[in-house]
Amino acid sequence: MSIGDLAVDRGADNKIKFGGKELQDYDLNGVNLALYDFHARHKMNDVPVFTTIDPLAEKMKSWSTYAYCFDNPISFIDPDGKEGIKYTDEDGQKTVESNVVVLLEQKKAVPDGASEKKVARINRQNGKIEKRNTARMADVETRLNETYNGSDGKGSKNSVGETVMFKFNIIGLEVADTKGGTNQNINAIATKNGLNTSSKTSFGTDIVAKAAVVTTRSTEGSLGLSNRVWVTEQSGAPVRTLGHEVGHTLKLDDAPYPGANSGLMDYSGGNGLISSEVDNIWEMAYDK
């Protein structure tokens, strides 16, 4: 039996623990094998090592290929690896695709035995909620497309002048708490609504590029916040704020990129996506 054939216990005992990752219990012929799911690789629980090398180890040649967070997990975290998927069609058109889940207001339920008057009132309220939800999704889609594909919708250029199109699949999800509850709940939403990639873990299981989850969480005084999975922005924030925060889910950092100081991820100036940022997104995306 290979480890890829093992059944995973995803019951109530599963917890998000070290590094914010899920501890999974595998049963290997009666022997428990506990592993943390770091998406790009797995970490053993009983022996503090990873089962495979870091898939981006070539970018940090001065460090061990099995290192975690530069051997300093107090100061650094290991994000979820690559997110979004990329592909080139038969005409040579490059595309980066990502799912974006927008947490929406939940419609009110009609109680059993409600009077016609009460039913009518609830239906009117739900009609207003539906309009707000529709407008919310349209706003997210419009702003992301304008930020990443330009006002003309023709895409963005990489550093060699090729056009890269960005496809955002907007998914509306009605929930009781549009802040998304706990990080564990958000992680579950992002994974469930993610895109399947062509990549697999070392155990043969499919890797999913998680969806970005747009919430109404507090920005804590900032224009916007993201933990690379959930995204939130301040009411009335600049148009590009949403695109900036979604950029983090595509693995862009808050820093100027080589040869530029006014891109989407640089809050000190500039407005749009620049070629070096396009390069970085493409490099970090999974293959479809």
Residue 117 pLDDT greater than 90, yes or no: yes
pLDDT, tens only, 77-99:
555 456 799 999 999 999 999 99
**Measured between alpha carbons, how far is 105 from 177 in angstroms, rounded to an integer?**
8
- Residue by residue, DSSP assigns 209-265 as EPPEEE-----TTSSEEE-SSEEEE-TT--THHHHHHHHHHTT--SSPPTT-SSSTT
Average pLDDT over the chain reads 81
Domain ranges for the chain, please list them.
3-71, 85-287
pLDDT, tens only, 253-267:
877 655 556 789 886
Task: Give the E-state strand segments of the chain in sequence order.
Answer: 8-9, 15-16, 22-28, 31-37, 42-44, 85-88, 94-105, 156-157, 163-175, 195-200, 206-209, 212-214, 224-226, 230-233, 286-287
**Measured between alpha carbons, how far is 82 from 265 in angstroms, rounded to an integer?**
18
Instruction: Give residue 262's pLDDT.
Output: 74
Distances (CA, A) of 280 to 196, 222, 244, 265, 277: 20, 25, 14, 12, 5
Compute the average pLDDT of residues 138-149.
96
Which of 52, 114, 39, 30 lies closest to 80 in space, CA to CA? 39
Which of 210, 179, 230 lies closest to 37 in space, CA to CA? 210
pLDDT band at 152 (very low <50, low <70, confident <90, very high): very high
Instruction: Give residue 7's pLDDT.
Output: 40
Compute the average pLDDT of residues 195-210.
81
Instruction: Give residue 80's pLDDT.
Output: 47
Residue type (1 letter), 136: R
CATH topology of domain 85-287: Collagenase (Catalytic Domain) (3.40.390)
pLDDT band at 216 (very low <50, low <70, confident <90, very high): very high
- Which of the pair, 90 or 17, is modelled with greater confidence? 90
Residue 3 · residue 28 · CB < 8 Å: yes
